[in-house]
Amino acid sequence: MSSKIALGIDIGGTGIKAAPVKLKNGKFQEDRYRIPTPKPATPDAVATTVARCIQHFDPPVGTPIGVAFPGVIQQGIARTAANLGDEWIGQDVRALVRERSGHDVQIMNDADAAGMGEHRYGAAQGRDGVILMTTLGTGIGSALIADGQLVANTEFGHTMIDGEIAEYWAAESARSRLDLDWDGWIVNLQRFYSEMERLLWPDLIIVGGGVSKSHHMFLPHLNLKAPIIPAELRNGAGIVGAAAWASSASKREEKNAKAANKKAAKKSQ
Ligand code: BGC
């Protein structure tokens, strides 16, 4: 794998997917590799599966590796994991995967990864202004990007609307759980996205997640101020965004470490 490649891994509710990504255009360099998400999805079992995905591609040491995680991540530590299980909370996911795989990795929220992927290579490529990315799946993930800068860990799917968490009735999973037809689901989506507009005034809204394949069934029926468009990278957005993020985060970490060393050396003179 050359230095122009980074490995992206996406931890989803049903599958853990990985692919090496060409950083110049966001395309996969090799076919995606997928392993079903272990049940139960304990930190131990998931970290071992992520390590198997890494081993499958056997990247040279130093290849940036990004892992998209379905919960809030601060400095590699999981703070929430609504759809994985409470034992994740407080887990140092970065250290766990590093220990299992022998590679350093960068961990980020899955919707943040998808949003970065769409901004860098997809539906929002090169767009300024406020972009709201939402992923409709088991839960609702969100990413907020303002003039190209990500505000990490927004959890707009957990907005309380009428006393209920939005993702409970507006995620893709709500369609079967609540036995909603398209029209019923559209009513719920309208409530969710109207609330987002009331609070955030985005210039563009992007909708990802598996159901975005059927965007013509629901997007044209939403009445919003901002354009609302389907994601372009579809299910690959998490992988691509995590890879791109890992590449910039590794560079940033290196730069910060150099600056800190320089400062320490100056102090000791
Ligand atoms: C989690 C988010 C995640 C989303 C999609 C939500 O339940 O709270 O962090 O991005 O699901 O996986």
Find the 140 Cα to ligand 1 centroid distance in Å.
Answer: 6
Pocket test for ligand 1, best of 14, 93, 108, 109 (most atoms within 8 A of CB): 109
Q: Where are the domains of the chain?
A: 5-112+236-268, 125-231
> Is the Cα dihedral 240, 153, 88, 138 positive or negative?
negative
Q: What is the pLDDT of residue 267?
A: 86
Q: Do domains 5-112+236-268 and 125-231 have the same CATH topology?
A: yes
Kindly calculate the radius of gyration of the chain based on its CA atoms and give it in whole angstroms. Answer: 19
What is the mean pLDDT of the segment spanning 187-215? 97
What values do phi and psi take at 169, rounded to 5?
-110, -5
Q: What is the pLDDT of residue 95?
A: 98
With a cut of 90, say whether residue 253 has pLDDT above it: no
Pocket test for ligand 1, best of 167, 173, 235, 239 (most atoms within 8 A of CB): 167
With a cut of 80, say whether residue 247 has pLDDT above it: yes
* Geometric angle at alpha carbon 226, from 167 and 188, rounded to 5°: 30
pTM to 2 decimal places = 0.94
Q: What is the pLDDT of residue 63?
A: 96
H helices within 143-218, ranges in order? 166-170, 173-177, 182-200
- For residue 256, what is the enclosing H or E element? helix 237-267
Q: What is the pLDDT of residue 256?
A: 85
pLDDT digits over 159-192, tens only? 998 899 999 999 999 999 999 999 999 999 999 9
**2 confidence band (pLDDT: 50, 70, 90):** low
Q: Whose CA is nearest to atom 11 of ligand 1?
A: 139
- At the topology level, CATH places domain 125-231 in Nucleotidyltransferase; domain 5 (3.30.420)
Chain center to CA of 251: 20
Q: Whose CA is nearest to atom 7 of ligand 1?
A: 139
Q: How far apart are CA 109 and CA 87, in angstroms?
A: 17
Q: Does domain 5-112+236-268 have CATH number 3.30.420.40?
A: yes
Nearest to 33 by CA among 2, 48, 54: 54
Q: What is the pLDDT of residue 78?
A: 98
With a cut of 90, say whether residue 230 has pLDDT above it: yes
pLDDT digits over 103-154, tens only? 999 999 999 999 999 999 999 998 999 999 999 999 999 999 999 999 999 9
Tell me what the pLDDT averaged over the chain comes to.
Answer: 95
Q: What is the pLDDT of residue 18?
A: 98
Q: What is the pLDDT of residue 119?
A: 97
pLDDT digits over 3-60, tens only? 699 999 999 989 999 999 999 999 999 999 999 999 999 999 999 999 999 999 999 9
DSSP assignment of 68-99: EESS-EETTEE---TTT-GGGTT-BHHHHHHH
The CA-atom distances, in angstroms, between 186 and each of 51, 203, 217 are 39, 21, 9
> Residues lining ligand 1, judged by CB closer than 6 Å?
70-72, 80, 82-83, 109-111, 135, 137, 139, 141, 155, 157-158, 167
